[in-house]
Amino acid sequence: MKNKKKLVKFILTVITVVLFLLTTFPFVIVVINSAKASLEIMTDPTSLPVRWTQLFENIKEIWTSPSIKYSKSVFSSVIITTLSLLSISVFSAMAAWVLVRRKTRSSTVIFLIFISGLIIPFQVVMFPLVSLFRMINETVGLQMLRTYHGMIFAYIGFGAPLAVFMFHGFIKSIPLELEEAALIDGCSKPQIFFKIIMPILKPIFVTISILNAIWIWNDFLLPSLILGVGQDIQTIPLAISAFAGSFVKKWDLIMTAVLMAAAPIIVGFIIGQKHIIKGMVSGSIK
């Protein structure tokens, strides 16, 4: 029996190591090729760089390139990601709180409508979304395409369903007596939410922020539809695509730019990993 358990443990260990290597292999390829020249990548993409200082030369070329304007794309990505995360987190938490505390048939229907957004593929609605934004511009005069607020509005719509679902499950575990005591002490509804509920929701806020940050920061398809490639407002993925032309692909700059784009998300994920796991577990069992 002991030998059988050891064999099973050994097999599971081998499978884990293999999966780890398969998962990290693309990232390792990006790291080692970001410190190479384009010709060196084309010659042997799996070898170690001849000199690692090439990485800093690639970064300097990317950052100072007048045609790509990478620094401007970083600013745009930071603005879009930050405002989208704040909007998704705060509005979804407020919506979930109201849906939990107002136990009516309409609140149940609204919650199910939110959940239905999780099963609708983005590819089904991407072209109708662009048509809707164009119609809003023509009828209302509000420009939704090629703008920051258009991107943020779209991300709120696609990110709210999962956020509401997670907040809804967590808020149900918060005792109603806390809110009743605050109400007796003279707190208004907004004060109850922002002073009592929001501090308790910190693990879920971190979880939702990290999950949505990974998606929004790395997203290419939605910005390409709403912002367009080669426009004034460009996110980092759109800027990286400019290194891949029709006839020439600058693999050294592509790899370096990918590494530069991934670094903030990796650092953020490592810092918030404990809160992410806590938030996911709490939201799933309560």
Name the band, by pLDDT with cuts 50, 70 and 90, for residue 22: very high
37-85 pLDDT tens trace = 888 888 888 888 888 888 888 888 888 877 678 888 999 999 999 999 9
Ordered by start, the domain boundaries in the chain are 50-285
Query: What contacts 126, CB < 8 A, 6 or more positions away?
Result: 221, 222, 225
* 0.75 exceeded by pTM: yes
Q: What is the pLDDT of residue 277?
A: 63
Q: What is the pLDDT of residue 281?
A: 57
CA torsion angle 130 133 138 142 (round to 10) = -150
* 3-state SS, residue 244: strand
The CATH number of domain 50-285, selected from 1.10.3720.10, 3.30.300.30, 3.40.50.620, 1.10.10.10:
1.10.3720.10
For residue 40, what are its two tokens? 């060196």
